[in-house]
Structure formats: C-alpha cells, structure tokens
Amino acid sequence: MIDLTQTNAREVARRVNAGELSAVEVARSALERIERHNESLRAFITVTADRAIRDAEAVDAAAARGESLPLAGVPLAVKDGFWTEGVRTTNGSKALLDFVPGEDAESVARLKKAGCVLVGKASMHEYAYGFTNENPTFGNAQNPWRIGHIPGGSTGGGAIALATGMALAAVGGDTGGSVRQPSALCGVVGLKVTYGRVSRHGGIPLSWSMDTVGPMARTVGDAALLLSVMAGPDPKDRATAHSPPLPETLVPDGSDLSGLRVGVPGGHFFDSSEPEVAESVRDAIEVLRGLGASVVEVDFPAVDLARAAHRAIIFAEAASAHEPAARDLGNGMTDDIRALILSGLFLNGDQYLDGQRARRVVMAQYRDLWRSFDVLATPTSPLLATPIGLRELAVGDRSIPLVYLYLDHTMPFNLSGQPALSVPCGFSTTGLPIGLQLVGRPWEEAALLRVGASYESATHWTERVPPGI
C-alpha cells in the first residue's frame, strides 16, 4: 500500500494517469490512515469511505480510457463549512448536524472534476469563528506533532490530515488566518488567496467582505496545482468577476531569486514572536538571500488600526449572516459562538462604516509600502502550538488574549485582500513546526509560490512527518 506521507499530489496524479498506480489503492491507503488515526486526532467530522472508493473507481476508469486528469486520484479533505453534495455539512456545529447540501461548493466541484477523491469533511472551529479548533460537539482536534496542543483554526482538520497522510489536498477558508495558522502549526503549506481569486459559492459565510477559499497541501507545488484548478471567475460569486488569469506556469523550474526584493518588517512581527519562531524565520530569510534575493528592512505600520477595523467588520458581518441561527436557543449552537455572533448586533451602522473606512486607510498604507519591495516575509504565527484550553499568555507584565497574538500576523492581509502563503521553515527544540509567511501584492500568487517553492527546495522542511505517524 502506498505511503501517503512519502509522496505528494502531483506524483500521485502522474502515476494514476500513467496507469502505474490505481486511484482505488490511493483511496484505500488514505482511508486506512483515517481509520488508524482519526479517533485520536479528530481530523475529520465525517468520513466518506464508500463514496471515496466509488469515485476512485471512476477515476481509474477515466485513466483507462486515456483521459488525463490534473489531480487524478488525489485524496481530498474539505473543511466542513463547504457544501458537499449528498454529504452533511455541519459547519462544525450541532446547529447544522442534519444539513445535507444538494450541490458541491464551486471550489470542491472543480477539484472533483479534476480527479480529486473526497475522503471526508475536515474538522473545524464551530462556525469558523475561532483559532483553536476546539469543538465540544465533535471533539477537540489535536496537533499531530503533540497531542493536547491545538492544530490551529479554523481549518485545523485539513492541516492534520495533510501532515499525517490522511489526505494530499485540502480546501480551507481564511477570513483572519484560518488557512495559514493551522498550516504553520501543523507543518504544511497553506495559501490565502487574493480576495476574489477563488469562488466562495457553497461556502458558509463568516464575513462576506473578507472570506477567501484557498488550497492547503504538503508542498508548494501541490498548492500551486490546486490553485490552478480552483481559481477563476464564477457567475455565482460576483467577487470573482474581475479575477485576472493565472500565469500558465505557477511554479517555474529553478530556484534563483535574483532581482526579488524581500521586505522584512521590524517591530511587531518579530518582537511579539517567541524566540525560536523569530530565529527560524530570520534563518529562512537568509536562505532567500542566499538564493539571490535582496532584503529590505521595512517600517511596517502598527496593527492596531487593522485589528480594530477587522473586528468591527467581522463582528457585524457574522451577525448579519447568522443572527437567526444564533437566536434559536434550541438548535445546539454552543454558548460562546452564540455570544460572539450576537455581539455583532451591538455595533451600529456608523461603527461598521468606520471599520470599512479604516480598512481603506490600511489598504492605502500597504499599497504604498509594497512599492519598495516585492514580497513581505514574517512569521505566520508568533507562537508555537499552545495547549488546548489556554486562552491568554503572559507577555512581560501583561496577560494578552491568544486571539490577538495568533491572528495579528495574519488578519491584516485579510483586511487588505492580499495573497499570503505559509511555508514550513523549521521546528522548535520540542519538535513543534514553525511557519514562514510570504505576503504579496494583490493577484500576485505566482510570485509567492515561486519564492515558496525555491525556499522549500533549498530546505526540505516539508518532508518531515509527525512522530508515530
């Protein structure tokens, strides 16, 4: 049986298309890993074993007819906030325990058409409204590198599945860091796309003006392949209407980064990071310098304005989307999520508009800043994976909520709509993964993927597997 921790999506698709490997064998390998590890790690809410075998058989039949599918036989984990035809979509909540969509989300449909085989619905923070992936209804998702620690949220299940070989591709949603944070904490690759690059149709919303759908994978090349399939205009999501086409080659051969300017912000991004995190990211920046990139020190604006604008917008828009469900006291929604949603009702129209005005200021600041460099490099998460249940951390003489510490590195770029890629860049002395965040100009995902692939090929961090897996 193929070991899915020792391969990648591109290689599996190549071999299935060539008839060297059957999609059914790949699906059975993924399902065997799910059966072995899911009870302890809680990567999946729903496992689609029978459907996976049927879909894999269809892929094998297509390969036998000479059809070449770009993702033939690749096992896919889909965050449980995205519709899947005929498969329940709970959004991580008891409130939607029996919701079975009649169609796939557009991103899921495109991946399945390209040959992906759905193996299950990945665990998530309830209503995608949190950063830990703790879930009292379906069980707390566990970091595969250390049980009892968070995998990050809200797309934690997909990251767990990738790190452990339960899947080779995952669909996630990122509104404040929910693709990048779990990718960093679980040692995989996650891409937050430019707002409007990938259709959100069929995704249960959290904040309509900041929600994005993006790929998660074991390698940068796999993430690029997934993006090439998922991206493009969709008449069912008007935000995609003006999405420019992607370059034909997203990850070019070679690792020379000559001419690339990498911006490195002082202050907040490194001062708020744990020492091992800051050191690993600075080492990663030196690798980029060694590949030919020039490094530019950047005076980055304080995140206070971005944080305030992000919270005002997300609170108001989440309340608008989910007020009826939150007011239904008998539907099983947990009290903390209900309170978060209803708290948005205390914001008035002027406060929401003030948040959107502040957003414009932040976007203008970032647009001017990017004139002096091409790609910004920061830690994805300032912290290593923290213990499940921890809510605050002592920093000096203050106790700071973890939600600020974790998301302050990622949420500014949801506010600005820019693409951002998280790539593994090291491990702590205790064996926990560390992520490098690369942020680009709007619509320049290809530049991020090029830098990420060059770094990945020079370091091989993505080849490591959690102990006991």
Task: Give φ, ψ of 76 to 5 degrees.
Answer: -120, 130
Q: Tell me what the pLDDT averaged over the chain comes to.
A: 96
Which tokens in the block code for residue 256?
Answer: 């020379």
- CATH H superfamily, domain 4-303+358-463: Amidase signature (AS) domain (3.90.1300.10)
Distance CA 55, CA 44 (A): 19
DSSP state of 272: T
Catalytic residue among 22, 107, 178, 183: 178
Query: Can you give the pLDDT at residue 280?
Result: 98
Q: Which of 382, 400, 392 is nearest to 273 (CA)?
A: 382
Torsion of CA 283, 287, 290, 292, to 10 degrees: -120
| Per-residue pLDDT tens over the stretch 294-320 | 999 999 999 999 999 999 999 999 999
**Long-range Cβ pairs for the range 129-134 (8 Å, 24+):** 129/154, 129/206, 129/318, 129/337, 129/340, 129/341, 130/154, 130/337, 131/176, 131/177, 131/178, 131/181, 131/402, 131/403, 131/406, 131/407, 132/156, 132/388, 132/402, 133/157, 133/182, 134/388, 134/389
- Please determine, for residue 398, whether its predicted confidence score (pLDDT) is greater than 90: no
Catalytic residue among 93, 107, 123, 154: 154
Annotation marks residue 154 as catalytic: yes
Which tokens in the block code for residue 2?
Answer: 């193929």
- What is the pLDDT confidence band of residue 239, given thresholds at 50, 70 and 90? very high
Which tokens in the block code for residue 318?
Answer: 């989440």
Cα distances (angstroms) measured from residue 15 to each of 18, 56, 68, 229 = 5, 14, 11, 19
* Inter-residue contact 168 to 222 (CB < 8 Å): yes
* Inter-residue contact 433 to 184 (CB < 8 Å): yes
Q: How many C-beta atoms lie closer than 10 Å to residue 73's C-beta?
A: 29
Q: Which residues of 425-451 are buried (b: 16+ CB within 10 A; e: fewer)?
A: bbbbeeebbbbbbbbbbbbbbbbbbbb
DSSP string over 245-285 = PPPS-SS-S----TT-EEEEE-THHHHTS-HHHHHHHHHHH
* Inter-residue contact 377 to 264 (CB < 8 Å): yes
Query: Can you give the pLDDT at residue 131?
Result: 95
Q: Which of 88, 162, 58, 73 is nearest to 118 (CA)?
A: 73
User: Domain residues of the chain, as ranges?
Assistant: 4-303+358-463, 304-357
| Per-residue pLDDT tens over the stretch 103-130 | 999 999 999 999 999 999 999 999 999 9
Catalytic residue among 79, 112, 121, 192: 79
Query: Can you give the pLDDT at residue 222?
Result: 97
Query: Can you give the pLDDT at residue 103?
Result: 98
Q: Which residue has the tokens 């320049």?
A: 444
183: burial class by Cβ within 10 Å (0-12, 13-18, 19+)? buried
DSSP state of 206: S
Query: Can you give the pLDDT at residue 8?
Result: 98
Which tokens in the block code for residue 238?
Answer: 């008007």
Distance CA 200, CA 204 (A): 8
Annotation marks residue 320 as catalytic: no
- Please determine, for residue 253, whether its predicted confidence score (pLDDT) is greater than 80: no
The pTM of the whole model exceeds 0.75 = yes
Query: Can you give the pLDDT at residue 1?
Result: 84
Those residues with Cβ within 8 angstroms of residue 67's Cβ, 6 or more apart along the chain or in another chain:
none
Annotation marks residue 178 as catalytic: yes
Distance CA 286, CA 220 (A): 19
DSSP string over 340-399 = HHHHGGGS-HHHHHHHHHHHHHHHHHHHHHGGG-SEEEEES-SSPPPBTT--EEEETTEE
Distance CA 85, CA 182 (A): 26
- Please determine, for residue 424, whether its predicted confidence score (pLDDT) is greater than 80: yes
Q: Mean pLDDT over residues 318-329, rounded?
A: 97
| Per-residue pLDDT tens over the stretch 354-375 | 999 999 999 999 999 999 999 9
Q: Mean pLDDT over residues 405-410, rounded?
A: 94
- Please determine, for residue 252, whether its predicted confidence score (pLDDT) is greater than 80: no
